[in-house]
Amino acid sequence: MDQPRSFAGIWYRSKPVTESTQADPFVRERGSLAVTGDTITFQGPRTQVVMRGVEAVEYGVHGSMNNPSVHVRYREDGEPRSAWLTDGGMGGYAGMFGGTRRLADALSHLAPTTFDDTGASRVQRRLAWLLVGVVLVFIVRAFRARYT
């Protein structure tokens, strides 16, 4: 990757919800992501994470998460670390419309990348049916208002 890339409105999570405890909660923060060479930098209001030594990039629905996310596995001082990233644009819906997959594509040059669209497709189908239902409600209301 020749040119640095940056992304705004990215959600960062330090661990899945299932691994979080009151004594050791996960960090969840919205901020910007910069990809420069072999380094990913997340900058949030309270958190900055620099990811080097990326070993794997995995796109899909992970664990108890409902929406697709990008799981980045990397090493920090020889210790394995993970980060989960989601496109939070469009009020949080950009990830459901392919934003998170585009983010995974942008990170795919850093390490072996896997794409599991199975769970993501289910979420996107449910969202599409929900949107169809909302549109139909508005159409019916518009007709009723006009013809009654």
Query: For residue 99, what pLDDT band results from cuts at 50, 70 and 90?
Result: confident
Q: Is the pLDDT of residue 123 over 70?
A: no
Query: For residue 28, what are its two tokens?
Result: 């969840």
Query: For residue 119, what are its two tokens?
Result: 């769970």
Taking the domains of the chain in order of start, what are their residue ranges? 5-147
Q: Which residues pair with 49 in a beta bridge?
A: 42
Three-state DSSP string of the chain: CCCCEEEEEEEEECCCHHHCCCCCCCCEEEEEEEEECCEEEEECCCCEEEECCCCEEEEECCCCCCCCEEEEEEEECCEEEEEEEEECCHHHCHHHHCHHHHHHHHHCCCCCEEECHHHHHHHHHHHHHHHHHHHHHHHHHHHHHHHC
For residue 57, give every residue at least 6 positions away whose Cβ sits within 8 Å of its Cβ, in sequence order, or none: 70, 71, 72, 73, 104, 107, 108, 110, 111, 112, 113, 114
% of the chain residues with pLDDT over 90: 32
pTM: 0.72
Pick 5-147's CATH classification: 2.30.29.30, 3.90.550.10, 3.40.50.300, 3.30.43.10.
2.30.29.30
Rounded to the nearest integer, the mean pLDDT of the chain is 82
